Amino acid sequence: MSPKERELMHGMANCYHVCHADFDETVEMVGSARGLSAQEVKAILERLKREDGDEYNSLRQQLPNEFPL
């Protein structure tokens, strides 16, 4: 996981913990803050889920189970 990808995952967790928004709203806020579209953020999250098992899973545990990625 690159530093940018790691920061995106931390951003997802931080945004959720502050705003308690649902998945789509969290993706929108994180993408907007990083100059990415929601689709770009989702594509990154999907790829990380497939490729970066342990580190992804560790960061993913900071998000609610109902988040699909």
pLDDT of 53 over the 90 cut: no
Mean pLDDT of the chain: 91
10-43: per-residue pLDDT in tens? Answer: 999 999 999 999 999 999 999 999 999 999 999 9
Return the pLDDT at 24. 95
Domain boundaries, the chain: 3-60
Tell how many helices (H) and how many strands (E) occur in the chain: 4, 0
How far apart are the C-alpha atoms of 56 and 27, rounded to whole Å? 16
Once rounded to an integer, what is the mean pLDDT over residues 32-56? 91
pLDDT attached to residue 33: 94
Q: What is the pTM of this model?
A: 0.86
